Amino acid sequence: MAPTGSEGLIEKLALIPDGGEVFHGVAPLLERWCARLAEVFDAEGTSAMVFDGEGLQLCAHYGDLPAVAYRGKTKQGEGIAGQVLASGKPLLVEDIEASEFFSQARYPKNQGKSFLSVPLLRDGQVAGIMNVRGGFQRPYEAQELHGLTIAGLLVERDIQLVQMRGVLRSNFITVALEKAHRPDLNAMVKAAEDPGKLAKLLARSFYRELRKAGFASTQIIMAATEIISGLGSSLRDARKKDR
């Protein structure tokens, strides 16, 4: 007897590859996930959005969706995805046409009957959203929402893998590793004619390489904050030693 309900969804999710594929960028990865989830949930369409600190930007989709959908951003509280961004919690809309969200739909003809939306969480913060629309045979229920929530964990795991691979392939990391093995690095920095200019060049390189790796602006700011925090600790330790 074929499994049904939650059991069937979990079995389908278990058959999805474990992230071993190599994707050169977050967008191709999310495109593949959108196609996979459309099959798992028998969906009319799926979409993936990333949060860049200002709003949600559509990054990939599967199904019928106009190109204009990639323009603009969804803010907190706007529509279904905006509600999920604001709350950080999954949302199920069993009948989209009878819901409060139908009047806010940007593309009502592409909504489907039911709608699932779950956050992609990183360190407890919303890093993106996965949406599934369909339910023409029967409305989506709590079991589908639970299944998509599990899938969201797998999607976010794969995003982090792609980003870390991008960082490891970057010129910034290559140069940093090379310099880490040079005992005269401090002497080189001290000998720089303009340390301020050198710092700006390194900062721009750091930003460019992380953007290439697929990191959002807020994530880059978090990384820079950690560096500044570490520098502050080092300076405090140095002052204590000088006393």
Residues 142-156 pLDDT 10s: 999 999 999 999 899
Arithmetic mean of pLDDT, 1-21: 56
Chain CA centroid to CA 69, Å: 18
Question: How does residue 240 score in pLDDT terms, banded at 50, 70 and 90?
Answer: low
Give residue for tokens 């989830």. 37
44: pLDDT strictly greater than 60: yes
| Mean pLDDT estimate for the chain | 76
What sign has the CA pseudo-torsion 179, 180, 186, 187?
A: negative
- 3-state SS class at 77: coil
| Cα separations in angstroms, 36 against 2, 105, 156, 185, 231 | 20, 24, 15, 48, 44
Residue 39 near residue 30, CB atoms below 8 Å: no
Question: How does residue 238 score in pLDDT terms, banded at 50, 70 and 90?
Answer: low
Domains, the chain: 5-165 (3.30.450.40), 171-242 (no CATH)
pTM of the model: 0.67
Question: What is the C-alpha to C-alpha distance for residues 61 and 35, in angstroms, rounded to an integer?
Answer: 8
Question: What is the C-alpha to C-alpha distance for residues 150 and 130, in angstroms, rounded to an integer?
Answer: 11
Question: What is the C-alpha to C-alpha distance for residues 60 and 151, in angstroms, rounded to an integer?
Answer: 16
Residue 120 near residue 154, CB atoms below 8 Å: no
Angle at 175 between CA 171 and CA 180, to 5 degrees: 150
Closest CA to 145 of 162, 132, 126: 132
1: pLDDT strictly greater than 50: no
Is pLDDT larger for residue 111 or for residue 220? 220
